[in-house]
Amino acid sequence: MNFSALVFVFSGLLASADVFAQVDTPQRSDWQMIFDEYDAQGTIVVLDERQPESNLMVLNESRSQQRLPPASTFKIPHALFALDAGVVKDEFQLFPWDGVQRTFADHNQDQDLRSSMRTSAVWVYEVFGKQIGEDKARQYLNRIDYGNADPTGDTSTYWIDGNLRITAQEQISFLKKLYLNQLPFDEADQRLVKDIMIVEAGREWILRAKTGWEGQIGWWVGWVEWPTGPVFFALNIDTPNSLEDLHKREAITRKVLQSIEALPRN
């Protein structure tokens, strides 16, 4: 690893530590009622920066520190890797569908960077992974201090069924650095990835987020931007009922965010 990469790693470690060292971490046991409403087991971490003093809130802190496969939440950093490596030139570059019929119908068509993020088309990111390669992927992962930074495994999707792992708290640290354009990538690329993460917006707020699912664990991570500051969140839950549980990721998170007025109530 060269000197610049070491600087990036060290800076990332400091930034990651700062997110949690400078704030209180109250346990939000009241949020358990929302999880119970959906018969879900999991954790959520929320970092509310709308006040002068950041407010970090956690339900199930022990699980929030457990490293799990990031699944398709990894598309956020992976898109940055692909842009930096020149695997994808811009948001308009088309990736032709290979004709393989996949479970989700939206995946069975040509994709660009925006659509592959919106539909979570795994095969596009398999292309990125093959072209980036394991060694360069490890360098990128270390540079951004992402989880255990391990892109190995006898699979083409190391972020789903390989050895890559990250905690909910580490997700928050990564997202905050992206929000601030403090990752070791071109600022224009960071702004592009944030743009394609937009899920919903109101007059005063923007929700940027990404789902993930590896079969047993479901994720929803991102943040809500307000004029007074961002509210970051990272949820993971068990999904014993497979596809039937996937709606719970967003439903639970939205209710948690609404409980602190970080999202408007419908």
Q: Whole-angstrom Cα distance, residue 60 to residue 20?
A: 16
The residue type found at 25 is T
Catalytic residues: 72
pLDDT confidence of residue 6: 40
Average confidence (pLDDT) over 109-119: 96
Burial class (CB in 10 A: 0-12, 13-18, 19+), 23: middle
Residue 165 is classified by DSSP as -
pLDDT reported for residue 20: 52
Q: What is the pLDDT of residues 146-175, one digit of tens each?
A: 999 999 999 999 999 999 999 999 999 999
- Summarize the confidence of residues 209-236 as an average pLDDT: 98
Strand ranges (DSSP E) for the chain? 42-48, 55-59, 198-201, 206-213, 217-226, 229-238
Domain ranges of the chain: 3-259
36: CB partners within 8 A, 6+ apart: none
Does residue 53 carry a pLDDT above 90? Answer: no
DSSP lists the bridge partners of residue 138 as none
Q: Which of 50-59, 122-131, 232-241 has the lowest mean pLDDT?
A: 50-59
What percent of the chain lies above the pLDDT cut of 70? Answer: 91
The larger pLDDT score, comparing residue 12 to residue 97, is at: 97
Cβ 57 vs Cβ 48: under 8 Å: yes
Task: Give the span between the Cα atoms of 158 and 151, in whole angstroms.
Answer: 6
Check residue 228 and report its DSSP letter.
T
Instruction: Give CA separation, 148 vs 67, 128, 141, in Å.
Output: 8, 20, 8
CA distance 60 to 90: 39
> Hey, what are 152's tokens?
């190995």
Give residue 21's pLDDT: 46
CA distances from 181 to 4, 178, 191, 192, 222 (A): 18, 5, 8, 11, 15
Answer whether residue 23 shows pLDDT above 80. no
Separation CA 81–CA 78 (nearest Å): 5
Q: pLDDT band at residue 24, thresholds of 50, 70 and 90? A: low
- Domain 3-259, CATH: 3.40.710.10
| 102, amino acid identity | R
CA–CA gap between residue 115 and residue 30 (Å, rounded): 37
Whole-model pTM: value is 0.90
CA 157, distance to chain mean position in Å, is 16
Which residues are registered as beta bridge partners of 44?
Answer: 59, 235
Q: What is the pLDDT of residues 178-196, one digit of tens each?
A: 999 999 999 999 999 999 9
